[in-house]
Amino acid sequence: MEGDPVLVVDRGRGEREALPVASLRSRPDIIDASSVFGDRSGPALPVEAVLDTDLDWVTVESSDDYRASIPTIDLVTGGLLLLDGSGGPVRLLVADGSTLCWNVKHVAALRATDAKEADSVPENPPH
């Protein structure tokens, strides 16, 4: 159906895929977010389930032009894609992230890069 949300995953080196969010919700590796984040619940997919890359950084882009460049290791070891519609259809949560700015609402794309890219986050965020 046209208009269904998708998550674009660009693993770098020419590997790009548009994943319908509806298909993410039916994957067998869905967990409850409360198993990682005690204060959150709902269906979530570990980032490592969709992002297999050898590049060091991932730029997370929201549908409203917010952008955060995050080390790949932090995403694959503690990142969840929350699929319950709270801040979404896809919201990124990063366990032990160095900043709350990594918990991106309305995620539209994950794009692996060789180097850190500029964030749209203020240098001194208000939280």
Chain segment 72-102, per-residue pLDDT in tens: 999 999 899 999 877 889 999 998 766 668 8
Q: Which among 88, 80, 3, 89 has a CA at the least distance from the CA of 37?
A: 80
Query: Cβ distance 60 to 104 under 8 Å?
Result: yes
Q: Which residue has the higher pLDDT, 81 or 120?
A: 81
Please state, in angstroms and rounded to a whole number, the distance separating the CA atoms of residues 68 and 31: 24
Q: Which helix (H) or strand (E) holds 43?
A: strand 43-46
Q: Taking the model in full, what pTM does it have?
A: 0.88
Domains defined for the chain, CATH in brackets: 6-113 (3.90.420.10)
